[in-house]
Chain A
Amino acid sequence: MKKPTFGPWLAVILGAAYFLIPLIATVEFSMRMKRGEYSFEAYRVVLGDPRFQESLAYSVVLALVTIVIGVLLVVPTAYWVQLRLPKLRPVVEFVTLLPLVIPAIVIVFGYLRMYNSQSWLPLTDSRRGTDLLLAFGYVTLALPYLYRSIDTGLRAIDVRTLTEAAESLGAGPMTILFRVIFPNIRSAILSGAFLTFAIVIGEFTFAALLDRPAFGPYLQLVGANRAYEPAALAIIAFVVTWACMGLIQVFGAARGAASKT
């Protein structure tokens, strides 16, 4: 039986309109800076702003640090749980889901109480300490996505056989982890890494409340004081998000093709 496709088409067209109109409007708005003509003036101003470059560079470095810490924390844990402690899996999964339960603003509020200058570990006393705390905070925020991505990757390979094969060839735990497991789940790690990057790069709450000069607070500051530059920044942020998601698709497709062969 051929179904009428009028309803589905209507849903898709209305959905597309709702999602595309704000993007079109933002592009249009961002080009209105010069009176009476369309120009890329707002982009030129934004890209030339030293605070834009500094805050973006800061957030990019922070995102990379977050990815390194997160991957080094999650891969060995997920690997070990799969290999030796399968009974622990529900517990670990529960912990990785907690950041979805506890709002980010509550977590950072807890940091400010736990790591303030009078506490046992006064991380917020120094800039480097606060940067580190921020990176740990972002690892926490990314944990649900990073863990799920890596765990899925680990389940797709035969962890036990790979480990035993490597052991019988005389490899130690570090060699197994870094030269056998990591390369085998590279696409899963990269997917998780790009998602983490997309989360960290524009994050506002943690950075603002820990008072660090990241890209999110910079966006907010520009939004409060300027007219056209925020629209240009929104388009730039959208392009960055697209790039991250596109790269996840590329690596996800590579993984799908690899698992078929």
Chain B
Amino acid sequence: MTPGERRLSLDTSAAPPSRPSLPALPWAWIGVTPFFVFAALFLVLPTALLVVGAFQTADGEFTLANLRDLTHPSIVAAYWISIQISAASAIGGAVIGAFLAYAAVGGGLPAWIRPTLMTFSGVASNFAGVPLAFAFLATLGRTGLVTWALANWFGVNLYATGFNLLSFFGLTLTYLYFQIPLMVLILTPALDGLRKEWREASQILGASTFQYWRWIGLPVLWPSLLGATLLLFANAFGAVATAYALTGSSLNIVTILLYAQIRGDVLHNQNLGYALALGMILITGFSNVAYIWLRGRAERWSR
């Protein structure tokens, strides 16, 4: 977090001595108390209670049994398919989004393409949840427009080929609708940070396009690329509404399982539900910590 530290030292050096009439510390802290009380009550404590619950029996005794029960095949399967869908939509979204962002930033296209793409990405990355599921049902559902067009114009019966919107592939395709734009939004500033001079310098020294990307472009970009991919992963992993509206409870992903558990204790053990939540926090937490770490590395080049 280099820039944070830099800003911080700047601020303290520029700070005038605090007003002598007020004792500096307690007064200063009162200003941020509401925020921390709010964060404690509605963010930290509720989560901490679940984490504690994951290590308790129904009577409140300490136990590791809940964590052991997470290895039940149906729960492992739910985590696994969630991880697969999140990884597929994150990697797909990252690769396609990176190409799109690069096309708009450095592709030599007309100037209006870039702002149009950015605005549209802002909309599409927020167009998730239940309406997105409706849109894809209208497109690739059994009576959807694309399904119909393929059958009538090309004679391809999509659903006879084994395709199903309510499946791993269908859900990944749907998630890409918000993953690709999110990647475009995150990566465009990083692409702007690739200085023209670096490319020109490499060309003068006789480097090919491939050599430029292999030795200059990708080494500079990789923390941004990988970090953004991890953020996309966490984004897909925690998603509930799209999957629920699309598949009901037919697809066994971990968020749907947790939803069913909260609604009706389908695991027949409240504390196992808490352990399920703990597992989700650990997975998204890991990918976000990695993202923040990589972003710190990436920012070294943007100065």
Which A residues contact B (CB, under 8 angstroms)? 1-3, 5, 7-9, 11-12, 15, 18-19, 21-26, 28-30, 73-74, 76-77, 80-82, 84-90, 92-93, 95, 97-114, 136-137, 139-140, 143, 160, 195, 198-199, 202-205, 209, 216, 219-220, 223-224, 230-231, 233-234, 237-238, 241-242, 244-246, 248-249
Q: Which residues of A contact B285 (CB under 8 A)?
A: 101-102
Top 9 nearest A-B pairs (CB, nearest first) are A110-B46, A8-B107, A103-B238, A25-B145, A29-B138, A8-B103, A80-B31, A204-B241, A234-B134
How distant is the Cα of A231 from the Cα of B123 in the complex, in angstroms? 18
Q: Are B50 and A106 interface neighbours, CB within 8 A?
A: yes
Q: Mark B91-112, 1 if CB is under 8 A from A, else 0.
A: 0000010011011100111000
A-B contacts, 30 of them at CB < 8 A, read: A5-B107, A8-B107, A8-B109, A11-B102, A12-B103, A12-B113, A15-B117, A15-B180, A19-B177, A28-B145, A76-B34, A88-B32, A98-B44, A103-B238, A104-B240, A105-B280, A106-B47, A114-B49, A137-B42, A140-B42, A199-B126, A203-B129, A204-B245, A220-B130, A223-B134, A230-B138, A234-B131, A234-B134, A241-B127, A248-B122
- Chain A, Cβ-Cβ closest to B147: A25
- Chain B, Cβ-Cβ closest to A224: B248
> Helix, strand, loop or mixed for chain B's interface?
helix
Q: Are B31 and A102 interface neighbours, CB within 8 A?
A: no
Report B158 CB to chain A, min CB distance, Å: 13
How distant is the Cα of A89 from the Cα of B31 in the complex, in angstroms? 13
Query: Which of B107, B144, B258 lies in contact with A11, CB distance below 8 A?
Result: B107
Q: Are A111 and B46 interface neighbours, CB within 8 A?
A: yes
Q: Which residues of A contact B277 (CB under 8 A)?
A: 105-106, 109-110
Q: Are A77 and B34 interface neighbours, CB within 8 A?
A: yes
Q: Are A237 and B127 interface neighbours, CB within 8 A?
A: yes
Q: Are A230 and B107 interface neighbours, CB within 8 A?
A: no
Q: Are B134 and A81 interface neighbours, CB within 8 A?
A: no
How distant is the Cα of A153 from the Cα of B109 in the complex, in angstroms? 32
How distant is the Cα of A112 from the Cα of B264 in the complex, in angstroms? 13
How distant is the Cα of A100 from the Cα of B230 in the complex, in angstroms? 12
Query: Which of A90, A139, A245 lies in contact with B122, CB distance below 8 A?
Result: A245
For chain B, residues 223 to 255, give those with C-beta under 8 angstroms from any C-beta of chain A.
Answer: 231, 234, 237-238, 240-241, 244-245, 248, 255
Q: Which residues of A contact B48 (CB under 8 A)?
A: 110
Q: Does B288 contact A (CB under 8 A)?
A: yes
Report A77 CB to chain B, min CB distance, Å: 4
- Chain A, Cβ-Cβ closest to B99: A11
Report B185 CB to chain A, min CB distance, Å: 11
B interface residues, tally (CB under 8 Å): 91
Q: Mark B17-61, 1 if CB is under 8 A from A, else 0.
A: 010000000001101101110110111111111100100000000
Q: Are B131 and A202 interface neighbours, CB within 8 A?
A: yes
Q: Does B168 contact A (CB under 8 A)?
A: no
Q: Which residues of B contact A238 (CB under 8 A)?
A: 123, 127, 131, 135
Q: Are B273 and A84 interface neighbours, CB within 8 A?
A: no
Contacts A19-B120, A28-B138, A233-B131; A101 near B284 (Cβ below 8 A)? yes
User: Which one of B8-16, B70-78, B186-194, B210-218 is at the A interface?
Assistant: B8-16
Query: Which of B44, B100, B133, B237 lies in contact with A15, CB distance below 8 A?
Result: B100
Query: Which of B38, B109, B280 lies in contact with A12, CB distance below 8 A?
Result: B109
How distant is the Cα of A242 from the Cα of B14 in the complex, in angstroms? 42
